[in-house]
């Protein structure tokens, strides 16, 4: 049972690491709060379940901690996100493919415009 607990503990730690890495990679505060909530909550669940499998006598305390994390994490991230939105922070938007022009498209449009203006 210790090996299974170690594996789940390691998986939880990996999710916590990926959540921290995602905080660095995301473009705006809304995406960062989503990564921080989802990945780190899943990682914390893995860590707590892994510890519970290694130390079965701690189940009751770990269950209370797990319930607290599962209840407070989504509520707090939602409240923080709502505060960001109300303060006027604009969500990041990806540019559409129509607004991104390739250099050859730009040159071909200029050639077409020159042909039209000369005739």
DSSP symbols for 32-73: HHHHHHHHHHHHHHHHHHHHHHH-GGGHHHHHHHHHHHHHHH
Q: What residues have CB less than 8 Å from 3, skipping those under 6 apart?
A: none
Q: In whole angstroms, give the CA distance from residue 47 to residue 76.
A: 21
Model-wide pTM > 0.75 = no
118 has a pLDDT exceeding 60: no
- Reported as type and span, the H/E element at residue 14 is helix 2-25
Pick the most confident of 42-46, 85-89, 106-110: 42-46
Mean of the per-residue pLDDT values for the chain? 83
Q: Return the minimum-mean-pLDDT range out of 3-7, 43-47, 60-64, 86-90.
A: 86-90
Instruction: Report, in angstroms and rounded to the nearest whole number, the Rg of the chain calculated over CA atoms.
Output: 24
Its sign, for the CA torsion 71, 58, 4, 48, is positive
The whole-number pLDDT of residue 71 equals 93
The whole-number pLDDT of residue 91 equals 80
The whole-number pLDDT of residue 112 equals 52
């Amino acid at each position: 049972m210790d090996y299974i607990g170690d594996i789940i503990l390691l998986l939880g730690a990996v999710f916590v690491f990926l959540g921290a890495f995602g905080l660095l990679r995301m473009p705006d505060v809304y995406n960062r709060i989503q990564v921080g909530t989802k990945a780190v909550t899943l990682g914390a669940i893995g860590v707590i379940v892994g510890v519970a499998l290694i130390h079965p006598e701690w189940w009751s305390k770990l269950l209370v901690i797990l319930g607290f994390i599962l209840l407070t994490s989504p509520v707090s991230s939602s409240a923080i996100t709502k505060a960001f939105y109300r303060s006027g922070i604009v969500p990041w938007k990806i540019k559409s493919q129509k607004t991104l022009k390739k250099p050859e498209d730009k040159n071909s449009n200029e050639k077409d415009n020159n042909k039209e203006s000369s005739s």
